[in-house]
Structure 1
Amino acid sequence: MSTFVLVPGAGGVGWYWHRVVPELERLGHQAVAVDIREDDPHLGLQDYADTVVTATGDHRDVVLVGQSLGAFTVPVVAGRVPVRLIVLINPMVPLPGETPGEWWEATGQPQARELNDRLNGRSGDFDERVHFLHDVPPDVVAAGAVEQRAPSGTPFKQRCEIDRWPDVPTRVLVGRDDRFFPVDFQRRMVRTRLGLGIDEIQGGHLVALSNPVELASRLDGYARGFL
């Protein structure tokens, strides 16, 4: 049995994992969905890491899972507590010393999203309904409306305080239907920054909300060494 410590993306809402936690527990694991007050402008990346370290506590056999912006927090945490495995989901993989604000242009994400939109007949600027919620069930979208928090701008100006990626086995799982971080973009970015390949899963950027059963199964497989 593993303990999955689940780090959310921008906004820091632990509710993001609410459909995955019971699936992991059904498979025999423990799951800790971390809630981070990323709407508080007084808190930054180191505070986010502190919150995750506290939530991890004395758990053993920890699998640290980071969604999107959570990838900036995960390597810092892995340098402070024992972690058996890191799993990144649709991640913003940082370079040492990079800020989340610098990440977008450094990786070419805006151009990749715009190209993907054009190729698929979409036009216009980023739209949460189009790029995030397109495959999330309507009842989950409605429930999430009261749970979401807008992230502050504080962490986007702060550097990822690592010298290198942690010496921890790392897997990267991406939604093949992600419209925000298109799969080809993620494949290139992960190869360039981590020297790793990616695994794909059905779903978009918010795969924990749109495809929780398969996501939990994939996480279980990683923890057991099956995948």
Structure 2
Amino acid sequence: MTTFVLIPGARCGPWHWRLVAGELRGRGHDVVTVDLPCGDDSAGLAEYAQAVTAAVGDRTGVVLVAHSFAGFSAPLVCAHLPVQLLVLVTAMVPAPGETPEGWFASTRCEEIRAEAAAREGRPPDGEAGLYFHDLSPGRAAEAAAHWREQSLTPASQPWPLSAWPPVPTRHLLCRADRLFPAEMLRRVSAERLGFAPDEMDGGHFPMLSRPRDLADRLERYGRSSSLP
């Protein structure tokens, strides 16, 4: 059995992880779905990391799974918990001193996103297209209905670490991600983590579009990280 700690991205909560959580629990794993204080203007990156730590409690040897914006807070957790593996899923990879809002300019994310739309012959995406283009209309509407209020406080805070934590890390991108285009995340992963990311089909929310495939990946990661 592996303990998976599923950390949501901006504007998200445990609901967005529920399908993957159900898959993993059905396979006999312990799963923690973290509820972040995303609507609290007094909560920044440190408080997000504290929320994860509190949710984990006295569990040991955990696999942290960070979606999207959680790439900024999950590494901070590694200083407070015995983390066996950190898995980034379509996630931001910060540089020391970089703010989340500054990340988009330094990675050229929005520029590359616009180039990808032009290359594919489609207009620039609205919110639904960026996040949920590969979901059924019903699931996309349900996902949007579960958006939460998101404070801007953590977006302006510099990432406080001087280097990536010394914890085994995997980075999983989705080839059809329109929010964080695959070509951009491949480069960012190579430059900032020093390795090529793993890849799977799907858009920015594989936990909603391909929950079984994502659970398969996470389970394999968990098994490999526990090997001597």
**1:116-171, Cα deviation, whole Å (9 max, x unpaired):** 111111223x4111111111233322323332113111111111121211111100
State yes or no: 1:141 paired with 2:134.
no
Aligned AA for 1:168? V
Corresponding position of 1:44: 44
**1:96-117, Cα deviation, whole Å (9 max, x unpaired):** 2211011110111011101111
**1:24-73, Cα deviation, whole Å (9 max, x unpaired):** 11222111111112122221111111100001111122000100100001
After superposition, where does 1:73-152 map in structure 2 within 5 Å? 73-124=73-124, 126-152=125-151
The number of residue pairs the alignment matches comes to: 225
Q: Tell me the distance in 2 between the aligned counterparts of 1:225 and 1:159.
A: 33
Contact 2:39 2:149 in 1 (8 A): yes
Corresponding position of 2:213: 214
Deviation at 1:80, TM superposition (A): 1.2
Contact 2:4 2:64 in 1 (8 A): yes
Corresponding position of 2:168: 169
Larger mean Cα displacement after TM superposition, 187-196 or 130-139: 130-139
Corresponding position of 1:189: 188
Question: Secondary structure of the equivalent of 1:15?
Answer: helix
Contact 1:90 1:173 in 2 (8 A): yes
Which runs of no fewer than 5 residues in structure 2 stay unpaired? none
**Structure 1 stretches of 4+ moved >4 Å:** none
Corresponding position of 1:19: 19
Between the aligned residues of both structures, percent identity stands at 42
Q: Tell me the distance in 2 between the aligned counterparts of 1:46 and 1:52.
A: 10
Which runs of no fewer than 5 residues in structure 1 stay unpaired? none
Aligned AA for 2:62? V
Corresponding position of 1:7: 7
Question: Secondary structure of the equivalent of 2:83?
Answer: coil
Question: Secondary structure of the equivalent of 1:19?
Answer: helix
Q: Tell me the distance in 2 between the aligned counterparts of 1:17 and 1:181.
A: 19
Corresponding position of 1:35: 35
What is the RMSD computed on CA atoms of the aligned residues? 1.3
Aligned AA for 1:180? L
Question: Secondary structure of the equivalent of 1:11?
Answer: coil
Aligned AA for 2:43? L
